[in-house]
C-alpha cells in the first residue's frame, strides 16, 4: 500500500497560500483519520484522497475555490461507472452532503469550529462512502 501521507501532497500544502489553509489542514487530518485505507495525493490541482494505495480510486478532492468556508467534493472515482447512472444511497443524518449529480456531492463547512463539531459525522459518512468506491 502507498504511504498515507504523500510527499507531493505535503509539498503542495507547504506551498499553498490560501485564506482557509488552517481549515484545509484540519480537513486533511479528519479525512486521513476516518479510515486507515485512505491515502492522499495531488489530483486535479488540489489535495485529493483515494483508497487502496497508488492504484486505488480517488474519491474526494478539496475544493480550493469554495467561497463559503472550506469544502470538499466527494465522488465515486475519476471515471464514469454504474453509480454515475444509478446513484447510491448514503446515510447522511447530519445533512453534510449537497448532491451535484448522482455520483458526486459537495461538503462545506463555514469555518474550523463547524468542521471540528462535525468531525465524527464526516468520518462516519466517509467510511460509508468508500465502501462504494
Strand partners, 47: 42
Q: Report the C-alpha gap between 105 and 11 in whole angstroms.
A: 27
Q: Return all residues near 81 (Cβ < 8 A) that are at least 6 apart.
A: 103
In a domain, 62, yes or no: yes
pLDDT above 70 (res 3):
no
Task: Say which CATH number the domain at 68 has.
Answer: 3.90.1150
Average predicted confidence (pLDDT) for the chain: 90
Kindly list the strands in the beta sheet with 104-109, ordered across the sheet, starting from the edge strand earlier in the chain.
38-43, 46-51, 58-63, 70-75, 104-109, 97-101
Whether the model clears a pTM of 0.95, i.e. scores above it, the answer is: no
**In this structure, what C-alpha cell is assigned to residue 11?**
509539498
- Name the helix (H) or strand (E) containing 82: helix 82-86
For residue 40, give the nearest of 9, 17, 15 by alpha carbon. Answer: 9
At residue 88, the pLDDT reads 85
In a domain, 63, yes or no: yes
Read off the pLDDT band of 1 (50, 70, 90): very low
Q: Which domain holds residue 100?
A: 7-130
Tally of structural domains, the chain:
1
At residue 79, the pLDDT reads 66
In a domain, 1, yes or no: no
pLDDT in tens, 40-80: 999 999 999 999 767 788 999 999 999 999 999 999 876 66
Share of the chain above pLDDT 70, in %: 92
Taking each helix axis from N to C terminus, what angle separates 119-130 and 21-34, rounded to the nearest 10 degrees? 50
Q: What is the dihedral of CA 126, 11, 65, 87, to 10 degrees?
A: -30
In a domain, 52, yes or no: yes
In a domain, 2, yes or no: no
Amino acid at each position: 500500500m502507498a504511504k498515507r501521507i504523500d510527499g507531493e501532497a505535503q509539498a503542495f500544502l507547504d506551498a499553498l497560500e490560501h485564506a482557509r489553509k488552517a481549515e484545509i489542514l484540519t480537513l486533511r487530518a479528519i479525512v486521513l483519520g476516518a479510515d486507515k485505507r485512505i491515502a492522499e495525493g495531488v489530483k486535479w490541482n488540489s489535495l485529493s484522497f483515494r483508497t487502496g494505495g497508488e492504484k486505488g480510486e480517488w474519491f474526494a478532492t478539496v475544493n480550493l475555490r469554495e467561497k463559503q468556508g472550506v469544502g470538499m467534493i466527494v465522488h465515486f472515482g475519476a471515471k464514469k461507472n454504474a453509480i454515475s447512472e444509478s446513484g447510491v444511497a448514503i446515510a447522511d443524518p447530519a445533512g453534510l452532503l449537497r448532491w451535484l449529480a448522482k455520483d458526486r456531492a459537495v461538503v462545506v463547512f463555514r469555518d474550523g469550529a463547524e468542521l471540528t463539531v462535525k468531525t465524527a459525522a464526516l468520518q462516519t459518512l466517509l467510511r460509508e462512502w468508500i465502501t462504494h468506491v
